[in-house]
Amino acid sequence: MTDTKPFVALCPETLPQRLGALPELRARLGANNESWRVKEVGDGNLNLVFIVEGDQGKAIVKQALPYVRLVGESWPLPLKRSFFEYHALVRQSERDPGMVPEIFYFDAEQAIIVMEFLSPHIILRRALIEGQQLPRIGRDLGLFAARTLFRGSDLAMSARKRKEDLALFSDNVELCDITENLVFSDPYFEASLNRHTSPQLDGLVAELRADRDLKVEAQKLKHLFTAKAETLLHGDLHTGSVMVTGEETRVIDPEFAFYGPIAFDVGMMIANFWMSYFSQAGHEEDGDREEMRRYLLGVVDEIWTTFRAEFARLWHEERNGILYQRSLFEDRGDRLGSEQALDHMLHEIWTDMLGFAGVEIHRRILGLAHNADFETISDLDLRARCETKALKLGRHLVVNRRQIHSLAEINSLANRLEKETVS
Ligand code: SR1
Ligand code: MG
């Protein structure tokens, strides 16, 4: 018989007593657990997050709840997402060392992960809303995406390890289901949990929901998401899943991890910078954000350029997996064949990435889970003007992605939309 304890949610009052005997926490915080100070700081949609401070230091305790925190107990969600988050963090830390928080302890039954307290890091989304220009993020995020996505794929992994991981993460069904509905379908019809800035956006929302080309393309992207089990994704790689200082970037929260298309993580991430770009007009109380806007488009460029260059380096140096074996190309002196295959793959990632970026923009304005970039703009007319521009860019990306050849093209469209007067 297994000795399983029923799940009980932590709270600041019970945490020191419940986790006080853990050597992993005592070593970091100090053994006097009665003096530990605990604060619940979770501001995400799903989980509890506690900062625990002792005489010798601090740690983060994250616990999944058996339901969606944003909605409440009416939307149950399994605790096993914590298991997937833990296993994704382990793999990401091997694939891009130093880019995720250090993990000290994991308890699957209580869905608890104890990890490094990052300080003085703040959530990237908040930094961008404040108008901070972080010098490293473009390069760090481009490298992180290329390394984790390449090294978790058939390009790098052996057949056995790859299939084992595919099987392990294939059970993250409920979180995939959230993405499948919230990102690819709900924004495009009157789903019950949707909301948007109303009445200001009502006309445009109706137009988008009647847009047949948009709906068909969004479903094609959904098909890619469900069927293209290409690599282990972070699965929710937006600016709220990144913590930063001027010198360091860390990626957190991979509970949506599963095997999906390489382009998904890259597209989600880049979309969040475009949304930040269009939201800047709503944060100009202390002066105009023209330079910030230039910076944000520069970051998009740097993420993609870095991703592409690092992906190509890994292709040349670490392509030891199942696909595009060297025995077919380099070993036969066919270097050009390998370059051709790489070009094709990068081109496909590029096109799909633009589509995923478009639907991510739409769902953050039309669906359930909005983002603070727009939500913190209290003047609703101004917020709606910012959102309108983002929605238009999103539509262009989804529908016309196969005809877009460079970021310069998109960035200049973003600039034009930004200058447009929205009635
Ligand atoms: C019901 S969960 C809503 C969103 O929160 C998470 O951060 C994911 O982005 C998900 O889509
Ligand atoms: Mg999250």
Each residue's pLDDT expressed in tens, for the chain with a length of 423 residues: 456 789 999 999 999 999 999 999 999 999 999 999 999 999 889 999 999 999 999 999 999 999 999 999 999 999 999 999 999 999 999 999 999 999 999 999 999 999 999 999 999 999 999 999 999 999 999 999 999 999 999 999 999 999 999 999 999 999 999 999 999 999 999 999 999 999 999 999 999 999 999 999 999 999 999 999 999 999 999 999 999 999 999 999 999 999 999 999 999 999 999 999 999 999 999 999 999 999 999 999 999 999 999 999 999 999 999 999 999 999 999 999 999 999 999 999 999 999 999 999 999 999 999 999 999 999 999 999 999 999 999 999 999 999 999 999 999 999 999 999 877
Gap between the Cα atoms of 351 and 410, Å rounded: 13
φ/ψ of residue 37, rounded to 5: -110, 135
165-188 as b/e: b if 16+ CB within 10 A? bbebbeebeebbebbebbbbbbbb
Smallest CA separation from ligand 1 atom 4, residue: 369
Q: Is the CB of 359 under 6 A from ligand 1?
A: no
Selection from 99, 53, 103 nearest residue 82 by Cα: 103
Beta carbons within 10 angstroms of residue 418's beta carbon: 17
Domain spans of the chain, in order of start: 15-116, 122-419
Q: Per-residue DSSP letters for 65-129?
A: -SEETTTEEEEE--TTHHHHHHHHHHHHHHHSTTSSPPEEEEETTTTEEEEEPP-S-EEHHHHHH
Structure tokens at 77: 């969600």
Q: Please, what's the largest Cα pairwise distance for the chain?
A: 68
The pLDDT of residue 422: 79
The DSSP bridge partners found for residue 62 are 49, 113
Gap between the Cα atoms of 133 and 124, Å rounded: 10
The pLDDT of residue 4: 76
Cis peptide before 254 (omega within 30 of 0): no
The pLDDT of residue 423: 72
Gap between the Cα atoms of 304 and 390, Å rounded: 19
Query: What are the residues whose beta carbon lies below 5 Å from ligand 2 (ion)?
Result: 44, 236, 253
Element (H, E) at 276: helix 262-279
Smallest CA separation from ligand 1 atom 6, residue: 45
**Residue 148 contacts residue 254 (beta carbons within 8 Å):** no
Tell me the fold of 122-419: Aminoglycoside 3'-phosphotransferase; Chain: A, domain 2 (3.90.1200)
Beta carbons within 10 angstroms of residue 327's beta carbon: 8
CA 375, chain centre distance (Å): 18
Under CATH, which number does the domain 15-116 receive? 3.30.200.20
Q: Please report the atom of ligand 1 found closest to the CA of residue 46.
A: 2
The pTM (predicted TM-score) of the whole model is 0.97
Ligand 1 center from residue 253 Cα (angstroms): 11
**Residue 344 contacts residue 337 (beta carbons within 8 Å):** no
Gap between the Cα atoms of 73 and 66, Å rounded: 8
φ/ψ of residue 391, rounded to 5: -60, -40
Smallest CA separation from ligand 1 atom 8, residue: 236
Q: Is the CB of 177 under 6 A from ligand 1?
A: no
**Residue 53 contacts residue 45 (beta carbons within 8 Å):** no
Q: Is the CB of 181 under 6 A from ligand 1?
A: no
φ/ψ of residue 351, rounded to 5: -65, -45
State pLDDT tens for residues 90-108: 999 999 999 999 999 999 9
**Residue 273 contacts residue 296 (beta carbons within 8 Å):** yes
349-375 as b/e: b if 16+ CB within 10 A? bbebbbbbbbbbbbbbbbbbbbbbbbe
CA angle 203, 205, 206 (to 5 degrees): 65
Gap between the Cα atoms of 109 and 124, Å rounded: 31
Q: Please report the atom of ligand 1 found closest to the CA of residue 182.
A: 11
**Residue 45 contacts residue 34 (beta carbons within 8 Å):** no
Ligand 2 center from residue 47 Cα (angstroms): 8
The pLDDT of residue 3: 63
State pLDDT tens for residues 351-383: 999 999 999 999 999 999 999 999 999 999 999
Q: Using alpha carbons, list the distances in angstroms from residue 378 to 26, 196, 274, 293, 392.
A: 44, 14, 20, 20, 22
Smallest CA separation from ligand 1 atom 2, residue: 45
Smallest CA separation from ligand 1 atom 11, residue: 179
Ligand 2 center from residue 240 Cα (angstroms): 7
CA angle 69, 360, 352 (to 5 degrees): 135
For a substitution probing ligand 1, which of 174, 182, 363, 366 has the most ligand atoms within 8 Å of its CB?
A: 182
Ligand 2 center from residue 375 Cα (angstroms): 17
